[in-house]
Amino acid sequence: MNKRTTIYLDHNATTPLCPEAREAMLPFIDGLYGNPSSYHHVGRQARSAVEAARRTIAEIFGCSPAEAVFTAGGTEANNLALRGAAAALKDRGRHIITSAIEHHSVLKTAEALGRDGFDITFLPVDAQGVVAPQAAADAIRPDTILISVMHANNETGAVQPVEVIGGAARQRGIAFHTDAVQAFGKIPQGAVFEYADMVTVTAHKAYGPRGAGALLVRRGTPLVPLMTGGHHEQGLRPGTENVAAIGGFAAAAEQAVAKLASESARIAALRDRFEALLLQAISNIAINSRGAPRVPNTSNVCFAGIESESVLLHLDLLGICASAGSACTTGEPEPSHVLRALGLSSVQAQGAVRFSLGRATTVEQIDTVAAALAGIVKKLREVSSL
Amino acid sequence: MAREDEDWRRLYEQDREPDIEDSQAGVIFYNDTVIEHFTNPCNVGEIDDADGFALIGDPSCGDQMKLWIKVEAGHIIDIKFKSFGCPGAIATSSMATTLAMGMHLDDARQLTDDDVVRALGGIPANKQHCSLMGISALQAAIRDYEQRIVQRP
Ligand code: FES
């Protein structure tokens, strides 16, 4: 028996904290306890850390610091964008457009708004999991107030044509929001406000801490806060700031941008090697969204005839972490709404496993996981009744 | 390219850190007995000249299983299953067939999912429904056997 080595291929669920983020956080965990809203010097130390982080985030996205609203993470930012814009714009119209493959924090929020009297259009995707920009344009009505389409899908990695959809929305004077949680740090994003009015990002998918994220809100975008009780964050997000996490977020974001070019090329090569090995070693598999533009780290594989949790448990027993669909769905027996939207049957979707690579992934790990999968799939297919 | 088979198989030999125990939350992960029945399930296969057969699906999760029995002098003398299912379904089917093997039909009819879960030493709460698959398939296969007897000229 020897100590287990972990092979972590679940970076779309969360990532380990990078050393730079840890360094930035430590002073605010250990000694600097101030409340950024306090008058005195102890408070001002914390305030200056939050504002420095805000400037860093603003610089990365080409916006002004006042346009960066810190939240507790992606789910909160998505809720603020949808509910906040819907509440601010409800007198102008009640139609909202989103896609069928959004993360639950957008999808379920849109459904909830639908029950509150808004009319929601869920755009379909093609077999590669991509929204057609024309479909988005065609869905626009005189009473459309908001369009929300994610930048990159968390399950398949498919990149959506947000620049085109956002451009069409702006032409018609409609607010456009994009959930960029899975795109951030994986593909270049540039000046997001050229096409979007609101952008969701989160720290922990990019080697920052859990518990900090941001909604970037372009100046002039109508938005009302979800909560009352404070002046914080331009009045859009009351509550004492999570200073350590916000500092860690900014430090991680800087690293993510600095490493983007070299890491995305390296990781894309590993992903391609992984998929080539699987296709060579295992029959009857399909790689979802392989024909779409994808973020470089994500590989979503359907293994025909077997059920994904059985694959995950075998992998886990070997020290290998992967995921079935999205981690948020664990505990729900229904197969992934994303894969169903691609046109997969529920039996096919049940055999899907997501591998998401990251900074620590090596060639040796990829080869080990590919070989392990060949053995696991063979074993499970011998048991399968299909 | 890919490494030799044996290389990755060694990973099964590694120490596993125990999952963090939470007495309030109850069982949150499969115990070692369940994992053993999942990784090395008993009675997997098909019986060509079976006396009873059942195909059972769980509509809530879409999982499916097939089960065959061979009966002699009122006893189940052979039993085999195949499953398109989660670890819980595979492990409980392995245990259900192990319990039923050699049993008199009168006793086998009395077996419940509780017996299976007890024999396994428990199963996570959200996996309770999986333990029904093996038992429902067993009961359906016994009914199938009985119908065939009645229909025999
Ligand atoms: S989840 Fe379907 S049988 Fe376990």
Q: What is the CATH number of the domain that holds A319?
A: 3.90.1150.10
Task: Say how far apart CA B55 and CA B68 lie, in whole Å.
Answer: 9
* Ramachandran category for residue A360: left, alpha or beta (phi over 0 → left; psi -120 to 50 → alpha): alpha
Q: Do A367 and B41 touch (CB under 8 A)?
A: no
What is the DSSP-derived secondary structure letter of residue A131?
Answer: -
Q: Do B4 and A372 touch (CB under 8 A)?
A: no
**What is the per-residue pLDDT across A227-242, written as a single tens digit (0 to 9) for each?**
999 889 999 999 999 9
Q: Could you give the percent of chain A with pLDDT greater than 70?
A: 97
The size of chain B, in residues, is: 153
- For residue A321, give how far its alpha carbon lies from the nearest alpha carbon of chain B (Å): 13
What is the rounded end-to-end Cα distance, in angstroms, of chain A?
36
Cα diameter, chain A: 69
pLDDT band at A141 (very low <50, low <70, confident <90, very high): very high
Q: How many domains does chain A have?
A: 2
Catalytic entry in B61, B86, B132, B140: B61
Ligand 1 pocket test, candidate residues B30, B82, B84, B86, most atoms within 8 A of CB? B86
Ligand 1 pocket test, candidate residues B58, B95, B113, B120, most atoms within 8 A of CB? B58
**Number of C-beta neighbours around residue A64 at 10 A:** 14
Catalytic residue flag (residue B86): no
- Note whether A248 and A365 are same-domain residues: no
- Note whether A249 and A272 are same-domain residues: no
Which residues of chain B make contact with A314, given a CB cutoff of 8 A?
39
- Note whether A43 and A152 are same-domain residues: yes
Nearest CB to B15 within list A1, A310, A370:
A1
Cβ neighbours for B55, distance < 8 A, ≥ 6 positions apart: A385, B64, B65, B66, B137
Mean pLDDT along residues A147-158: 98
Instruction: List the Cα angle A193/A196/A197 in 5-degree steps.
Output: 85
Residue nearest to atom 3 of ligand 1 (CA): B130
- For residue A230, give how far its alpha carbon lies from the nearest alpha carbon of chain B (Å): 36
- Note whether A135 and A246 are same-domain residues: yes
Q: What is the pLDDT of residue A332?
A: 56
Q: Could you give the percent of chain B with pLDDT greater than 90?
A: 65
pLDDT band at A325 (very low <50, low <70, confident <90, very high): low
Residue B87 Cα, ligand 1 centroid: separation in angstroms?
Answer: 8
For residues A40 and A232, the answer to whether their CB atoms sit within 8 Å is no
Q: Do A371 and B3 touch (CB under 8 A)?
A: yes
Q: For chains A and B, what is the number of CB pairs under 8 angstroms? A: 98
For residue A331, pLDDT beyond 60: no
Residues of A with CB under 8 A from a CB of B: 1-5, 277, 280-281, 305-307, 309-310, 313-314, 317-320, 331, 333, 335, 346-347, 350, 367-368, 370-372, 374-375, 382-386
Q: Do A317 and B12 touch (CB under 8 A)?
A: yes
- For residue A80, give how far its alpha carbon lies from the nearest alpha carbon of chain B (Å): 32
Mean pLDDT along residues A293-307: 96
> Is A16 exposed, middle or buried, given 0-12, 13-18 or 19+ CB atoms closer than 10 A?
middle
Task: Say how far apart CA B61 and CA B26 lie, in whole Å.
Answer: 23
Q: What is the pLDDT of residue A329?
A: 43
Residue A214 lies in a domain: yes
Using DSSP, state whether A354 is helix, strand or coil.
Answer: strand
What Å distances lie between residue B39 and A112, A116, A163, A285, A376, CA to CA?
Answer: 42, 48, 48, 22, 10
- Note whether A201 and A75 are same-domain residues: yes
For residue B26, pLDDT beyond 80: no
Interface test with chain B among A274, A313, A339, A365, by most B beta carbons within 10 Å: A313
What is the rounded end-to-end Cα distance, in angstroms, of chain B?
61
Residue A282 lies in a domain: yes
Helix or strand (DSSP H, E) at A119? strand A119-123
For residues A194 and A240, the answer to whether their CB atoms sit within 8 Å is no
Which of A196, A224, A255 is at the close of a domain? A255
Which residues of chain A make contact with B11, given a CB cutoff of 8 A?
318-320, 368, 372
- Note whether A206 and A270 are same-domain residues: no
Q: Do B14 and A1 touch (CB under 8 A)?
A: yes
> Is A328 exposed, middle or buried, given 0-12, 13-18 or 19+ CB atoms closer than 10 A?
middle
Task: Say how far apart CA A312 and CA A335 lie, in whole Å.
Answer: 15
For residues A145 and A96, the answer to whether their CB atoms sit within 8 Å is yes
**Number of C-beta neighbours around residue A228 at 10 A:** 7
Please name the CATH architecture into which domain B31-151 falls: Alpha-Beta Complex (3.90)
For residues A54 and A70, the answer to whether their CB atoms sit within 8 Å is yes
* Ramachandran category for residue A71: left, alpha or beta (phi over 0 → left; psi -120 to 50 → alpha): beta
**What is the per-residue pLDDT across A185-207, written as a single tens digit (0 to 9) for each?**
999 988 899 999 999 999 999 99
pTM exceeds 0.80, yes or no:
yes
Task: Say how far apart CA A139 and CA A134 lie, in whole Å.
Answer: 9
- Note whether A117 and A209 are same-domain residues: yes
- Note whether A72 and A192 are same-domain residues: yes
Task: Say how far apart CA A386 and CA B62 lie, in whole Å.
Answer: 12
Q: What is the pLDDT of residue B150?
A: 83
- For residue A1, give how far its alpha carbon lies from the nearest alpha carbon of chain B (Å): 5
**Number of C-beta neighbours around residue B43 at 10 A:** 19
Which residues of chain B make contact with A375, given a CB cutoff of 8 A?
5, 8-9
Please name the residue of chain B whose CA is at the shortest distance from the CA of residue A314: B39
Which of A230, A255, A280 is at the close of a domain? A255
Which CB contacts under 8 angstroms, 24+ apart, belong to A361-364? A361/A8, A361/A9, A361/A267, A361/A270, A362/A270, A363/A270, A363/A273
pLDDT band at A297 (very low <50, low <70, confident <90, very high): very high
- Note whether A366 and A275 are same-domain residues: yes
CATH at A230: 3.40.640.10
What Å distances lie between residue A88 and A97, A117, A145, A173, B137, CA to CA?
Answer: 16, 14, 10, 15, 56
- Note whether A270 and A361 are same-domain residues: yes
Which of A192, A224, A255 is at the close of a domain? A255
In this structure, what are the phi and psi dihedrals at residue A94, rounded to the nearest 5 degrees? -130, 20
Looking at the complex, does the CB of residue B41 fall below 8 Å from at least one CB of chain A? yes
Residue B64 Cα, ligand 1 centroid: separation in angstroms?
Answer: 9
Report residue B20 CA to chain centroid gap. 27
For residue A328, pLDDT beyond 50: no
Please name the residue of chain A whose CA is at the shortest distance from the CA of residue B12: A318
Respond yes or no on whether ipTM tops 0.85: yes
Residue A193 lies in a domain: yes
Q: Do A318 and B2 touch (CB under 8 A)?
A: no
For ligand 1, whether the C-beta of B107 sits within 6 Å is: no
Task: Say how far apart CA A261 and CA A107 lie, in whole Å.
Answer: 31
What is the DSSP-derived secondary structure letter of residue A328?
Answer: G
Q: Which domain holds residue A270?
A: 7-15+260-383
- Note whether A211 and A309 are same-domain residues: no
Residue B145 Cα, ligand 1 centroid: separation in angstroms?
Answer: 26
For residues A372 and A320, the answer to whether their CB atoms sit within 8 Å is yes
pLDDT band at B18 (very low <50, low <70, confident <90, very high): low
For residue A179, pLDDT beyond 50: yes
Q: What are residue A213's DSSP bridge partners?
A: A71, A202
Secondary structure (H, E, C), chain B: CCCCHHHHHHHHHCCCCCCCCCCCCCCCCCCHHHHHHHHCCCCECCCCCCCEEEEEECCCCCCEEEEEEEEECCEEEEEEEEEECCHHHHHHHHHHHHHHCCCEHHHHCCCCHHHHHHHHCCCCHHHHHHHHHHHHHHHHHHHHHHHHHHHCC
Nearest CB to B87 within list A310, A318, A346:
A310
Catalytic residue flag (residue B130): yes
Nearest CB to A370 within list B2, B16, B64:
B2
Instruction: List the Cα angle A184/A188/A192 in 5-degree steps.
Output: 75
Task: Say how far apart CA B136 and CA B115 lie, in whole Å.
Answer: 13
- Note whether A309 and A218 are same-domain residues: no
